[in-house]
Amino acid sequence: GRKMYDAARLAMADLGDKLVTLTIEDTRGDSGYAKDLAVKAITSGGVKIVIGPAELAAAQHLAKLSGTQRPPVLALADNFAGGPGVYAVRLSEADSAAAGAAAIAGKGAKKFVLLVPAGANAGAVEARVANALSIYGATLAVTLPYSASDAAKVVSDMGSLVEAPDAVVVASGDGSPVAVLAALKAKGIPGKAVSLIGTERWLERPIDPLYEGAYIATLDQSETGPIADRFKATYNYQPDVNVAYAYDMVALSAGIASSVGPNGFSKQVLENASGFRGSTGLFRFRADGSSQRSMPFFKVEKRRLKLVGKQTAGF
């Protein structure tokens, strides 16, 4: 919406005015209209890169299109998994869960349990966590889908399925994790023997006392701070994370145009292993369209996030 529009204008003023021409289209928050605008952009012949859409269904449609000559898409949709040439920009719950699990595995934990809301995203979260753990020689012993109504039963089942896990990862999806956390607390988790790992989706709600002791990998607010401050000074209203994502993608496009030239928006450049640094931290795009972010690692103490690791994984 307006915040992304203003963020793009700020990035253009900072970096892009003489390098790139940015055309901004209003999708009206309509997935069908967003899809039509994006398809028109990638088939017009003159567009070098598409930033957006922010609508999930529209991004998923673009990911299914065939053809290798189309310009790359930097999709701003939430919970988008990515696709070849259609890159997922935003931090997803799968990314956050995987980074948190990897940080604990890096400290020696070997056996993990994943509790994840039942539904379409469960498989993506499981795959990312399992992959991250394998790098450290750790394993995902079991994945247990749950709903808000059966949290206590699922946690009880966990006790009979897995003996002495080193860590439990709890994804929350669109809901609150507190029902699961209450059931875990009744079993002494987190505790000296078992770590609890949350995700950035937990932080969409006020920090609950049941979050105490959990580890969470999420974006570094100190990195987004300078852009947020200038945004507020320029437009006189408070930015959110959408501002940071939109600013970063316009800045990235301007940077590529400046350093590589107008034909620099290739897979080789966008998928380079060193990645890019923006106001949302260090990130890189993979060949399957997913993104990987290097994030700070926090522990919840007295309802605040305490930094315990500057970044969960270097590239």
**The CATH number of domain 93-218, selected from 3.40.190.10, 3.40.50.2300, 3.30.460.10, 3.30.565.10:** 3.40.50.2300
Extents of the domains making up the chain:
2-91+224-292, 93-218
Per CATH, the number for 2-91+224-292 is 3.40.50.2300
Q: What is the pLDDT of residue 226?
A: 83
Q: For 256-286, how does the pLDDT look when each residue is reduced to its tens digit (9 = 90+)? A: 998 898 888 999 999 999 999 888 888 999 9
The pLDDT of residue 118 = 93
Residue 312: the pLDDT is 62
Q: Which of 150-164, 172-186, 212-226, 270-284 has the lowest mean pLDDT?
A: 212-226
Do 2-91+224-292 and 93-218 fold alike per CATH?
Answer: yes
β pairing state of 111-117 and 86-88: unpaired
pTM over 0.75: yes
Name the DSSP letter for residue 83.
Answer: B
Report the phi/psi class of residue 289: left, alpha or beta, with left for phi > 0 and alpha for psi in -120 to 50. Answer: left
Would you tell me how many other CB atoms lie within 10 Å of the CB of residue 311? Answer: 17
- Say yes or no to pLDDT of 298 above 60: yes
Write out 169-226 in H/E/C secondary structure: EECCCCCCCHHHHHHHHHCCCCCCCCEEECCHHHHHCCCCHHHCCCEEECCCHHHHHH
